Every structure is written in structure tokens, then in C-alpha cells.
Structure 1
Amino acid sequence: MVPHLITALNGPINELEQRILESMPAIERWFRLEWMEHTPPFYSSVDIRNAGFKLAPVDTNLFPGGFNNLNPETLPLAVQAAMAAIEKICPEAKNLLLVPEAHTRNTFYLANIATLVRIFNQAGLNVRLGSLDPAITGPTQLALADGGSLTLEPLQRTRGRLGLKDFDPCTILLNDDLSAGIPAVLQNLHEQYLLPPLHAGWALRRKHQHFKAYEEVAKKFAKLMGMDPWLINPMFSHLDGLDFASGEGLDALQTQTDALLTKVRRKYKEYGINEKPFVIVKADTGSQGRCITTVRDAKDLETLGLKRGDQACRLPDGQPVNAVLIQEGVATYERVNEAVAEPVVYMMDRYVVGGFYRVHAERGVDENLNAPGSSYVPLAFAESTQLPRPGAKPGASAPNRFYMYGVIARLAMLAASYELEATDPDAEVYA
């Protein structure tokens, strides 16, 4: 299934697809050499936007929460990738402690946790769930929509180790993005593997650091391909010290927004793109899809709800947004049943394990689709990532387009690797 892509704009992307397919051996060797030097995140997901003239990642999640939306036929890929990841980290691993979001009882999120349990069970691990929720004081069953259930247990901390009653894991896998802060129970664990590391969580992570790393990766890849990195890289800037309630920093935000719009206009003119550019202003930390604003003119910031400091524009822990990422807007011209759609690619270790189209019938091509009302259509990655068809016409083959999406997603995953290395507080050289 290949969703409809507006054909009037797909020339440059067809050329990019053709170039990627022709360069597949060189691309795969390049990735292989990069992974010899860098460690991939344990798992990740990447939101991608296809504007027809530009294809770029707009968000990279290091605590992905939608494994239940993957095509069940791709789960063997995830199991194999999980095996590879665990073998590198703790080859003798027997027990895995999975820590989900503390207070979430959403049935879709619980289905994601159930899918992760299934993946790691089939990878040869005993999996149990430890809750950060202080209200969980004993084994607690949560019902799943399919009639099954999950059992949450209270975490037990013993010096440098974290576990459950009668359960001592080699590895702890977090599926909580730590946007509300780092719980004391997770700190100073020196005897176990904690994945992802604490500095991957939104308590410390910043989006502009990721896109700075991605910019570096995109330039390297573009040099390999002999292309303009802008075709796969969203330009950006960031700003700290904002107070939307009082208006402090708003002038600086307008200035930076106008400067970025000017840069995008130049690129549109260079490529003959007859559209009005836009930027996305969003919190520099994880906001779970909230506080994301489309801006086509810097003056619009004076009247948009972003500056009101209201509840809709606060971080998940209730704190007001005081730092933003100003990102070049990349429209999505993909359609599923006439509704706007964007591909989301899931990875574990360095492998693509599946993905889906996030679809929203009530959102426009220039808006955030990660919002209430979205739905998910699985991608058929099982065949497509392994068997692209170099002879097929660009834009017509599902395997070819999905392979291209997998390449872009892996570039973002590599950028996350660069980012985590640069921000590691325990590294010898802190950047």
C-alpha cells in the first residue's frame, strides 16, 4: 500500500529515490562503517514528512510508544533486532525489567507495552513490569483491550541495583521519556544496564541538540550522494529564556522566526517552489504533541495562543515552555483515504523493524498530526526494507519508497547516536 502523493510536486523526491536506489551498496556500507564508530540508541522512532520536493525527519523519539501499531508480520524483524541488541549489551541476559510510563492507563499505550513484552519474550528474556507510580504497592493487573492483561509491580531498590521482589534483572528498559524529571530510584545505577540512558530523557535532552547532530549527519550523507543536504534536512534555530505569559523574549522569537523564513524562501526560489514557506515553533523538550504552532509570518506570533502561557502550552509536568525549537516546516503531501498522513519509522538497535502512517483527517498538510483524532495504518516494511526494486519507476513502488523512508529514519537514528555521545555527562569529553 502506497498512499497517494501529490504528483505535481514529486519531481525532486523521485530523483532522490532514484539516486538512493542506485547508491544502495554505497549507502549500506556507509551505515556499516558509521555503526563501527557509534552506538545506536536501543530503540527509536522517527516522524518523517514528504513534501514532494523535500523529505526530512521532524522528530526523533528515543522512548517509542507505538509498537502496537506495527504490522504484526514485521514482529519477527523486531525479535531479531532485540536479540542483536541484547547480545551486544548483556549476552548472558536472562531477565529484563521493563519500566513503562508511570501514570498512563491508556489502553493503546498498554497495548504498546504488551507488544514489547511479546518481542522480548520471543527474544529469550523473562520480562516483568516495574512501575514508577508510588500508588503501585503490590502486583496490580491492568486489563488490555484484547482481553489480556499486564501485571505492574512496585520497584525495589537495593544499593546499586533495581529490580522487583524475587526478580533481579541484568537490563532495565525504560519506556517513560522522563519528561517529568528523573526519579531518584533510577539514579546512580552502576551495576545494571539502563536503556536508554538517563540523559536521553526529556528531563535533560533538547531537540535543538538532536537537529544539530542531524545537520552534521545530513551533510556527510549528502556528500556521499553528491546532493544538496537541504533536500533531507530541516533548517532550524532555537531560543531560550522565553516567558510567553509576560511576553518576555517574544521580540527575539519573532526576529529568529523571520530570519529562518527568509532562509527557506531563498531555497524555495532556488528550486522553483511556488509555495509560501512556514516554520514550526515547538517546545525544545518533549511536549507529547502539545504546544506546536505553525507560523507563516513572524508577526503572527503576537496573536497566536502560543504566547498566552495557558495550559495548552505547558510541558507534561505543568511547567511553562521557556525554550523553543524554531524548525523549517515540511509539509506532508501523503494521503491515506484522502486524509493527510505522515510515515513513522520504528527501529531497534540499528535495524528498521516496521512503521506506520499517522493519519489525521482534520489536520492540514502544514500541521502537527500527533494530536487527538489521529489513526494509524501499518506499513508493509517486512518486504520493503529488505527487497527494494531498483528497476521500478520512482514513486510507484512501495518497497522503493519505504526503503527511502528507512534510509532517512536511520540517518535520524545515527544523529541520535551522535547526540547522546555529545551530551553524555559521564563521557571524558563533554560537548
Structure 2
Amino acid sequence: MPVPHLTIALNGPIFELEKRILDAMPLIEHWLRKQWHEHAVPFYCSVDLRNSGFKLAPVDTNLFPGGFNNLNPTFIPLCVQAMMTAVEKICPDAHSILLIPENHTRNIFYLQNVAVLQSIMRQAGLDIRIGSLLPEITRPTPVALPNGDTLLLEPVQRRGNRLHTADFDPCAILLNNDLSGGVPEILQDLEQITIPPLYAGWATRRKSSHFNAYDSVAQAFAELIDIDPWLINPYFTSCGKVNFHEKEGEDCVAAAVDEILRDLQEKYTQYGVKEKPFVIVKADSGTYGMGIMSVKDGADVYKLNRKQRNKMATVKEGLFVRNVLVQEGVYTFESIHQAVAEPVIYMIDRYVVGGFYRVHTGRGIDENLNAPGMHFVPLAFDTTCVQPNPTARPDAVPNRFYAYGVIARLALLAAAIELDRYAKHPVLNTNA
């Protein structure tokens, strides 16, 4: 696989960061093992990272990953082994699982992800079927996939407090549906275990809550290996009561943008970074790259045209944006064939099982790459994120991937802490 290269000289803070991570590998792995004893690990997770050459940080964490089809097939045995551990830990008696996907019947790429996930679970010794929540799926419906395989979608039924299909009564429910539109009544109060729990969906989660948890994780990790936490942690804040159509909440957003820009400029000056700092404003819940904009001045918030306001006002499922995350923009200086790239790391339980590069030919180094209408080419990693080479340079591919795996696991730990908090104080909302 051609690996995206950093387009700036790798001899500054990020080189030192990768060197610290590599040198501290035994310490880091011991510390992480201790964390997994203290926190329940999410069932699976993907993390979007950005490598600016002077900073390496997560910018999004997804608890319902939808890109297993983009992983290197060579790593499927890793996925199967991790899946066995994940299932045994959460539901040791599980042998039959009903997978509930997103309602993306026309998105073949997503359905390929479901097929790979189903295959991984079958190889882990599980009887798994795909249950659709779509009302138009009234009978078992085969969907042909580009590779010649067929995915069978079955209508979901509910009897009492159990979910099943016509001839399949599973002992557990696996969600690959992020519940952006809220928790359907058919999924509430089930006696079967639901994985991940319902409060892991976007009906409950807030990105600001996740990054609040990550803030504490990054601080502890930075103390562990003696680095500036900013090198792995984006500044952020949040604003509520926002309505982009009615221009409500703009003052909060603009002020937050300017404050982060001031703090960023101090760091850029400290580290000799010549680029102009920028900020990402995005919906505080939801996914699929919707409701996101890049700004370089708080005044930009007031200057949105109608099309931009419409874009920022709604997200997946047509939900209105009421809360936004205002987050430090992290440049990506990785590129391949003149197209910008960012790594996406996949984990099952606490194990890194692979990753890929999201490559976008139509976006810039300071823009969101996970964008609707994107022309994106996934480049599967050709080596794992768990086998660094201590005799090679810190920026050698195995070592860079190990650093990616470490930072991704910090985001996984933050998600674990975040879900602990939701479990103790479950408050469902509908993105109000």
C-alpha cells in the first residue's frame, strides 16, 4: 500500500512525540491495561485522527463504526479474535445475535460494512442475522453486493420484551445504528442485552462530553510520558440554544471561535508553527460529516449565506442543530497523490484491529474530509498498529501506526469514561 507522506519536515514536536511514545511503549501498555481494569471498554469503536506534523490528535470518535469493509482483509483474524473477547466479556452466554444496521438500504458501501461485520462475528462462532427496522422490509429481502455476496435483511418483530425475526430469537442485540433520530420504541426496555447500550447513541451522547472525558485522559497520559498535552488534545468548548436559520446563539459561537483562536495562536507561536489557526464548528451530536464548517475568524459566523445556514442547521435524519461543538481545527499534512488524507483507526474491545486512510481529492488540509458527496478512497493499512519497530526511526510506518493506535486507544478510553458517566446518570434527549 502506498502510505500517505507528511508534506512538511518531520523534525519538530510530532517527531519528538512519536519518539516519546515509542520509547515509553512498555509503560504505556501497562498504563492502558490498568485503565481497562477500571473502565468497561466499548464493544467497538473507530477514531478519526489528524496528523499536522506538529500535533497528532483525535477529532471524532464513533461508537457505531461503519467502515469494516475498508480494513485490510489480512487483519480479519485479528478482528475475529478481538470479537471473541468482546462478546465473552459483555455477554458470555451469547451464541445468537441480531444485528440492527442503519437504514441505508441504498448505500452499498455501508451494506458491505454490515456484511464484513457479520462475517467477523460468524467466524467468532456466533449465529448472527441482520434485522431491519425499515417498515418496507416486510419479508426476508436479499441485497446483492458488488463482490457477489448477498446480504439478507429480515424484518424485526417484538414479542413482549424480546426482539426477534420470524424464526430467530437471539440472546443479544448488536447495534450498528447510531440512533441519531432517537431510540425507536421497539428497542426500548428489552430483556436482551443491547450492545452498545442505548445511551451510546446520538440521542444521548454529546461530542463535547466525549472531549471533556478525553481532556482528562490526555492530561494523565501527557504526565505519564512527560509531554505537553496540547500535542495530542484539541481545544474545544460548546454552545447551546443555537439556531442557524434564525441566527440565534451566534454570539456564543463567534466568541468561542475567537477565544480558541487566541489560545491557538499562543501555541503556534510557542512551537514556531507558521500556518494560520482555524476552528471547526460542528453539531454536538451526529455523524456522516453533516453540520460542519471551518472558520478562521469569529466574524465568519455572522456572514453565513442561506445555503451555509441550511447546511449547518440540520444533520442526519433531518434533525435540527441546537447544540454545537466549537473545536480547534487540526491540520492534516498527510497526503497521497496530491490528495489530503487522514487515518481512521478501528478497535474491537480494547484491541486495535486495523485502520485505513480517508483520502479526499476535493478537500483542503483545513477541511473536514468525511463530507457528503466526497470522492474518498480508503487505503487499508498494510501493517498493524501494534507492532512498532524500535530499531527504525520514530516516523517509520510501523512506528507511526503504533502512535496512531496509542492515540486512538486514548479516545477509546475517553469513550469508556463517557459511557460510565451516562450509565450512572442516564438522561435521554432528542437533540433538543
- Is 1:399 aligned to 2:401, yes or no? no
Contact 2:386 2:405 in 1 (8 A): no
Tell me, yes or no, if structure 1 residue 285 matches structure 2 residue 285: yes
More off after superposition, 404-413 vs 6-15? 6-15
Q: Please state if 1:262 is matched with 2:262.
A: yes
CA contact (8 A) 2:51 2:331 kept: yes
Per-residue CA deviations over 1:62-94 (Å, capped at 9, x if unaligned) read: 000000000000111000000001111222321
TM normalised by structure 1 equals: 0.95
- Give the match for residue 49 of structure 2: 48
Shift of 1:307: 8.6
Q: Which letter maps to 1:84?
A: T
What CA distance in whole angstroms lies between the structure 2 residues aligned with 1:425 and 1:213? 15
Where does residue 373 of structure 1 map in the other structure? 375
1:188–1:232: structure 2 CA closer, same or farther, 3 Å change rule? same
Cα 1:306–1:9, aligned 2, differ >3 Å: closer, same or farther?
Answer: farther
Matches within 5 A, 1:18-417: 18-189=19-190, 191-305=191-305, 309-310=309-310, 313-371=313-371, 372-382=374-384, 385-395=385-395, 397-417=396-416
Aligned residue for 1:75, secondary structure, equals helix
Q: TM-score, normalised by structure 2?
A: 0.95
Q: Is the 8 A contact 1:50 1:342 kept in 2?
A: yes
Note closer, same or farther for the CA distance 1:325–1:152 as it changes in structure 2 (3 Å cut): same
> Given the superposition, is the C-alpha separation of residues 306 and 182 from structure 1 closer, same or farther in structure 2, using an over 3 Å criterion?
farther
Q: 1:411 to 1:119 in 2, by over 3 A?
A: same
Partner residue, 1:423: 422
Could you tell me whether the CA contact under 8 Å between 2:199 and 2:426 is conserved in 1?
A: no
Amino acid at match of 2:376: S
> Is the 1:177–1:202 Cα contact (8 Å) retained in structure 2?
yes
Aligned-residue CA RMSD (Å): 1.6
1:134-167 CA deviation, whole Å, 9 max, x = no partner? 1111111111111221111111212221111221
C-alpha distance after superposition, 1:369-401 (max 9, x if no partner): 01221111001233xx33211121121x21100
Using the TM superposition, give the Cα deviation of residue 305 of structure 1 relative to its aligned residue in structure 2, in angstroms.
Answer: 4.2
Task: Report the 3-state secondary structure (helix = DSSP H, G, I; strand = E; otherwise coil) of the residue aligned with 1:167.
Answer: coil
**SS state at 1:7 partner:** coil
Shift of 1:11: 1.6
Counterpart CA distance in 2 for 1:326 and 1:179 is: 20
Percent of pairs identical after alignment? 57
2:336 and 2:163 mapped to 1: Cα distance?
44
Cα deviation, residue 182, structure 1 = 0.7
Change in Cα spacing, 1:52 to 1:357, as seen in structure 2 (3 Å) is same
Deviation at 1:427, TM superposition (A): 6.9
Q: Partner amino acid for 1:120? A: M
Q: Match of 1:69, as an amino acid?
A: N
* Contiguous gaps of at least 5 residues in structure 1: none
| Paired residue secondary structure (2:316) | coil
Work out whether residues 359 and 375 of structure 1, in 8 Å CA contact, stay in contact via their aligned partners in 2: yes
Letter in 1 for 2:383: F
Structure 2 distance, partners of 1:2, 1:171, is 39
* Equivalent AA in structure 1 for residue 345 of structure 2: V
- 1:103 Cα deviation from its structure 2 partner: 4.0
> Does the 8 Å CA contact 1:293/1:306 hold for their aligned counterparts?
no
8 Å CA contact retained: 1:50, 1:334: yes
Amino acid at match of 2:169: D
Compare 296-305 and 133-142 and name the one that shifted more. Answer: 296-305
Partners in 2 of 1:80 and 1:306 — Cα distance?
50
Give the SS at the match of 1:423. helix
Cα shift at 1:317: 2.0
Distance change (3 Å), C-alpha of 1:77 and 1:361: same
CA distance in 1, matches of 2:268, 2:44: 35
Partner amino acid, structure 1, of 2:419 = L
Distance 1:140 1:306 in 2: 41
Read off the aligned partner of 2:82 and give its amino acid letter.
A
2-structure distance, mates of 1:41, 1:55: 23
Per-residue Cα deviation, 1:106-145 (whole angstroms, up to 9, x for no partner): 1111100000011000000111011111111111111111
> For residues 54 and 352 of structure 1, what CA distance do their matches in structure 2 show?
21
Indicate if the aligned counterparts of 2:234 and 2:328 stay in contact, CA closer than 8 A: yes
**Alpha-carbon distance between aligned partners in 2 of 1:168 and 1:69, rounded to the nearest angstrom:** 31
Give unmatched runs, 5+ long, in structure 2. Answer: 428-432
Aligned partners of 1:410, 1:263: CA distance in 2, in Å?
26
| C-alpha distance in structure 1 between counterparts of 2:219 and 2:252, whole Å | 28
Would the aligned equivalents of 1:257 and 1:279 in 2 still touch at CA under 8 Å? yes
Length, aligned pairs only: 424
Write the distance in 2 (CA, Å) between the matches of 1:96 and 1:4. Answer: 41
Cα distance in 2, alignment partners of residues 348 and 239 from structure 1: 32
Moved over 3 A (4+): 305-309, 425-428
Report if the CA contact (8 A) 1:290-1:313 is conserved: no
Partners in 2 of 1:302 and 1:67 — Cα distance?
Answer: 39
Structure-1 separation of matches of 2:316 and 2:388? 40
Structure 1 residue matching 2:364: 3-state secondary structure: coil
